[in-house]
Structure 1
Amino acid sequence: MKTLKLYQIDAFAEKLFTGNPAAVCVLDSWLDEDLMQKIAMENNLAETAFVVHSGDQYQIRWFTPELEVDLCGHATLASAYVLFQYYNHESDLIRFQSERSGHLTVRREASGELTLDFPVDQLKEVPINEEITIALGAEPLSMYKGKTDYVLIYRNQEEITSMQPNFFLLDKIDARGIIVTAPGNEVDFVSRFFAPSCGIPEDPVTGSAHTSLTPYWAKSLGKENMLAKQLSQRGGTLKCALRGDRVLITGKAKPYLRGEIML
């Protein structure tokens, strides 16, 4: 019987049972893709990250219960936490390489927080999609399309909080996810993220969505450093900074479990 170590980490979490839980498997070499997908399905979390040490960096891939995705922020932050805490990574910087998203880094701050360094997402304004509007039950001020997601801009935090999407209708939209966002009452901006087509009706905290949100709100608010909250049931806080064509996303992580997968 072969066993694999499995870690579950709450990412962008101030305390346990908040933020976004991600599973992490650190491998000696890549497993068959079908097996990684089955493990992610069995874990039934928004994402499971698989990591392989390669020279002075780590290769990384991310799977939802239904498919492999191009980029996942919270599972990358969780993977870095695992490497720092349980694999004795010596420096305060971890370099990841993704075939789908290129070069990514995570830095351990003196505060113990972790900072993701991700490529910025380029947004293009598009006509407001009636199908998405009907599915969300709320008309946005404007709408944008990024690499994989739609971003819909609303007037205030209350519109985001009260939204009750029709996930059956959202599942028919040709996109990884739908991001809804507005100015925050106590933070710079708030958001929610819906991705039923990936098997995730609502993601608790979505690091990758903030590669789209950060440049938009930096331009809209006229500031490069911002505080954001994702208004899911679990909730999560993210410090976001725009640095040219990169986005820095900082948050905390809390360990939930360590175990073994028996294959």
Structure 2
Amino acid sequence: MELPIYQLDAFTNQVFGGNPAAVVPLTSWLPDETLQAIAAENNLAETAFYVPTDHGFHIRWFTPTVEVDLCGHATLATAYVLFSIENYAQEQIHFDSRSGVLTVRQEEDWLILDFPVDTLHKQLVSPPALLEALGDIMPVEIIRGKTDFMAVLENEEQVRSLNPDVIVLSTLPVRGVIITAKGEEVDFVSRFFAPQSGIAEDPVTGSAHTTLTPYWAEKLGKTEFSALQVSKRGGVLKTKLIGERVEIAGQVRLYLKGTIVTG
């Protein structure tokens, strides 16, 4: 069996930046074991698979070790494949997913995701493992979303210089941990660590901005934001809070096209 595969860099306007994702178009679903094996072989933060439906596409995302409920950068990469390589003719793509219906549209060189907003709960008692992992840096506050913890730090420099103990972080019962602070030249900055999901640090995490955007909307008193994920590769995002939805905009660059040969 042979399958097409694309690798793309998402949330960047240049190759070797942003967050790499693999995209594998399918005509029908393969066994879950095969999907997971392909993702493990790719060894990227996420591999996205999609199949056509009557009204759009069904999308699924796999890390090298697990299937996840939501992934922003791999959805962005998939939309790029459909719009720019497969020449999908509609103005908007509808994806069925484990997180409900997701849409992506194009505006010039930007792709805009429409995701459900996260539910935020302030942690009155800080998780000991999270504090231990952060070492000498004490968060201003800690938020719990549906799948992640978020630690808010005092400034951008603390976010950039942070070197958490990912082994300790991996003991937390969440998908991952968002680290954020108010930005110096943008509205806010962030990093994302997910050793629980097989990713020590994710270069750019679109789904984390469903948590970041409503938090900073309340803190800054606005609904539209410029954001940087300040990992080594770095990522540029624009987000907008619209009621119970978050628009997350980014750019994508194609890195490679190939063929998977499974037998």
Bin for the TM-score computed over the shorter chain: over 0.9
Structure 1, unpaired ranges of 5+: none
2:113 counterpart letter in structure 1: L
Aligned to 1:214, what secondary structure does the other structure show? helix
TM-score normalised according to structure 2 size: 0.98
Mapped partners of 2:177, 2:134: distance in 1: 9
1:203 counterpart letter in structure 2: D
2:221 counterpart letter in structure 1: G
For 1:27-48, what per-residue CA distance to the aligned partner results, in whole angstroms no more than 9, with x for missing partners?
Answer: 0000100000000000000000
User: After the TM superposition, which of the residue ranges 89-98 and 38-47 deviates more from structure 2?
Assistant: 89-98
Pairing partner for 2:111 from 105, 111, 114 = 114
TM-score normalised according to structure 1 size: 0.98
Mapped partners of 1:129, 1:197: distance in 2: 16
| Structure 1 residue runs of 4 or more that deviate by more than 2 Å after TM superposition | none
Asked whether the equivalents of residues 129 and 171 of structure 2 are also in contact (C-alpha less than 8 Å), the reply is no
Matched, 1:129 2:127: yes
For 1:90-121, what per-residue CA distance to the aligned partner results, in whole angstroms no more than 9, with x for missing partners?
Answer: 022100010x2001000011x22100000000
Mapped partners of 2:99, 2:231: distance in 1: 26
Mapped partners of 2:248, 2:91: distance in 1: 16
Mapped partners of 1:82, 1:96: distance in 2: 14
1:130 is displaced (CA, Å) by 2.1
Aligned to 1:247, what secondary structure does the other structure show? strand
Structure 2, unpaired ranges of 5+: none
2:49 counterpart letter in structure 1: F
Matched, 1:12 2:16: no
Matched, 1:219 2:221: no
**Equivalent runs, 1:198-237 vs 2, <5 Å:** 198-237=197-236
1:232 counterpart letter in structure 2: S
Residue 186 of structure 1: aligned partner:
185
Asked whether the equivalents of residues 14 and 236 of structure 1 are also in contact (C-alpha less than 8 Å), the reply is no
1:252 is displaced (CA, Å) by 0.3
Mapped partners of 1:14, 1:221: distance in 2: 27
1:172 is displaced (CA, Å) by 1.0
Residue 103 of structure 1: aligned partner:
101
Asked whether the equivalents of residues 154 and 181 of structure 2 are also in contact (C-alpha less than 8 Å), the reply is yes
1:87 is displaced (CA, Å) by 1.3
2:134 counterpart letter in structure 1: L
Residue 245 of structure 1: aligned partner:
244
**Equivalent runs, 1:104-183 vs 2, <5 Å:** 104-109=102-107, 111-126=108-123, 127-137=125-135, 138-183=137-182
Mapped partners of 2:134, 2:42: distance in 1: 28
Mapped partners of 1:235, 1:209: distance in 2: 15
Number of residues paired by the alignment?
Answer: 260
Mapped partners of 1:63, 1:136: distance in 2: 27
Asked whether the equivalents of residues 119 and 211 of structure 2 are also in contact (C-alpha less than 8 Å), the reply is yes
1:55 is displaced (CA, Å) by 1.0
1:101 counterpart letter in structure 2: S
1:131 is displaced (CA, Å) by 1.3
